[in-house]
Amino acid sequence: MDVSIIGGSGYGGGELLRLLLQHSGVRVKQVIGRSSAGLPVTRFHPNLRGLTSLVLEDPEALQPCDLLFTSLPNGKSMFGMPDWMRTAPRVIDLGADFRLDREQDWIEWYTPPHARPELLERFIYAVPEIHRERITAAERIACPGCEAIVSILALYPLLEQNLIRPDRIIIDAKMSSSQAGRSPSPASHHPERTGAVRSYQPVGHRHTIEIERCLEEYAPGVRVDISATAVEMVRGLLVTIHAEPRIKDIGEKTVWQAYRRAYREAPFIRIIKQRRGLYRFPEPKLLQGTNFCDIGFAVDPRGGRLVVIGAIDNLVKGTAGNAVQCMNLMAGFPENTGLGFPGLHPV
């Protein structure tokens, strides 16, 4: 299957290219990068030296392909999408432009009007572990944001099985620097970022609306509140979620069973809860380069809380890996094709 990538010079595009070059069922036909056209992709992704001779091309040179990935900054892919949809019968967008199916939600959380609101309902918001059948039949996919997908995966079994109150959920998210993208900013300048544990968005995080819209199908009235903190980590994302159980004195066995029931056939979900050892709960460090989402939990009988911990690599399960997983479902490949890297330890 011929696939192409629009937005190949960024971190998400580079990670997508890394995964696709190792995929047995696809050929990467083109990598598009307007401002970098004419330069080899290895100029931006030196880890791919010796694996590819692809050169970034101008968008005007885009040719028909079987499936097109778009990996652009928020607010960019909407402008070219009408033309790109005519280029490929299937499109997977890694950005935020088509994650919300209501124009008003986009205006409220992203401010500028949406350039192509008529296309919003043509895209399927895609979490493979939850929307497998929809993805298999889809032609247009909108991949979730990285903080959104790990929170959704951590919360879905508990809400779907009515184990927690939907209106009292607080998400504490620890964010790595690569989530800000390739373009530098004062906040990513090394003297400002190094050593930082910076609360940069204690309220009003954009992924709030994604999480609520996805989960309201299973838990009407769901309400989440996110506090985001930047930490000194290049890759990785850790969420600590505080929820109130509906069941008084909820037991760990009940929570275990909820996750096992929901994810028994999910190859990239691992429930991590050990009584001893250094890595008793999910740890982003161990997930670098992998498509796993690790989930753990702890019951607090004193405070009446259920604390859920979720970890991913934001560039893989949070971005490119999830997109490849969706492609596998759409194209009929085994779901884990090209996504078998187990991670490294120590790292």
**Along the chain (347 residues), what's the average pLDDT of each consecutive run of 10 residues?**
96 97 98 94 97 97 98 96 97 98 95 94 98 98 98 98 96 91 82 90 96 97 97 95 94 96 97 94 97 97 92 98 98 97 94
State the average pLDDT for the chain: 96
Dump the DSSP string for 77-145: HHHHHHHHHHH-SEEEE-SSTTS-S-HHHHHHHH-SPPS-GGGGGGSEE--HHHHHHHHHH-SEEEPPP
Of all residues in the chain, what percent carry a pLDDT higher than 70?
100
Looking at residue 184, its pLDDT comes to 81
Looking at residue 206, its pLDDT comes to 94
Structure tokens at 277: 């050892």
* Residues 65, 39 contacting (CB under 8 angstroms): no
The sheet with strand 140-142 has its strands ordered as 56-57, 27-32, 2-6, 67-70, 90-93, 140-142, 124-125
Looking at residue 344, its pLDDT comes to 95
Distance (Å, whole) CA 341 – CA 37: 30
* Residues 36, 9 contacting (CB under 8 angstroms): yes
Class of domain 147-314: alpha beta
Looking at residue 248, its pLDDT comes to 87
Cα atoms found within 13 Å of the Cα of residue 98, Cβ hemisphere only:
27
- Helix/strand/coil for 310: strand
Q: What's at 229, amino acid-wise?
A: T
Q: What's at 141, amino acid-wise?
A: I
With respect to CATH, is domain 2-122 assigned 3.30.70.100? no
Distance (Å, whole) CA 177 – CA 179: 5
Report pLDDT digits (tens) over 250-298. Answer: 999 999 999 999 999 999 999 999 999 999 999 999 999 999 999 999 9
Catalytic residue positions, numbered = 146
Q: Residue ranges of the domains in the chain?
A: 2-122, 147-314
